[in-house]
Amino acid sequence: MQMPLEVTFHNVEHSAAVDARIRTLAAKLERYCDQITRCRVTVEQTHKHHQHGNHYRVRVDVTVPDQALVAAREPSEHHAHVDVYVALRDAFDAMRRQLQDYRRRQRGEVKIHQQAPSGYIAELFPAKDFGRIATDTGRLLYFHRNSLANGAFDQLTTGDEVRFHEEQGDEGPQASAVHLTGKRHVEA
């Protein structure tokens, strides 16, 4: 870490053991991202319950280049955070996952979803329950009435713009999951 770790205790007495555990967990975060410029940990005791134990809230704030990450673990109704060490573990695990996601985005390893191909309705054969889509690449693809996502086959007209997924059918390529996106503008 380029900056020192800041540890704050609210409504709970400072504990050398808890402080040492925080420092150990914070040092492990550097395994997942070596660009951490700031790390601040807040441990708070929310309520003092004599019968049900104390509930702890832990918040981990980490600053990395052009982003601030926050992981906070609130006490839940099943009382898992009656133990300060469990609350610490959960908060630092959440921060670890955020740092791993941050590094994946930095390396460009995030999945990029391709946009579905588009085209327009070129031919319709309502009596036979099918039509053909002219793709942006100039091919004609068969599609069946049941392939239309909203089921409004009878409202389609030639020239309607659509998006679809292409798959291999029994007789060659065909369009499935056809979504109407708009009306095609026909020039006069």
Q: What is the pLDDT of residues 32-66, one digit of tens each?
A: 988 899 999 999 987 665 555 678 889 999 999 88
Instruction: Give the mean pLDDT of 137-147.
Output: 90
Q: Which amino acid is at 145?
A: R
- Same domain for 41 and 12, yes or no, is yes
The pLDDT confidence band at residue 113, using thresholds 50, 70 and 90, is low
Q: Is residue 47 part of a domain?
A: yes
d(CA 57, CA 180): 49
Q: How many domains does the chain have?
A: 2
pLDDT at 186 > cutoff 60: no
Same domain, 16 and 90: yes
Considering the domain architecture, whether residues 122 and 176 belong to the same structural domain is answered as yes
Residue 11 lies in a domain: yes
| 68 shares a domain with 33 | yes
Q: Using N-to-C axis directions, what is the helix angle for 84-107 and 16-29, rounded to 10°? A: 20
Lowest-confidence segment of 76-80, 120-124, 157-161 by average pLDDT? 76-80
Six-digit token pair at 103?
Answer: 């590094």
Is 113 within the bounds of a domain? Answer: no
Domain that holds residue 178: 118-183
% pLDDT > 70, the chain: 84
Return the ∠ at Cα 39 (arms to 33 and 42), rounded to 5°: 135
Q: Check if the beta carbon of residue 179 is closer than 8 Å to that of residue 163.
A: yes
Q: Which residues contact 91 (CB under 8 A, 6 or more apart)?
A: 41, 58, 59, 60, 71, 72, 73
Clarify whether residues 102 and 131 are in a common domain.
Answer: no
Domain closes at, from 79, 107, 135:
107
Arithmetic mean of pLDDT over the chain: 84
Q: Are residues 89 and 170 in the same domain?
A: no
Residue 188 has pLDDT above 50, yes or no: no
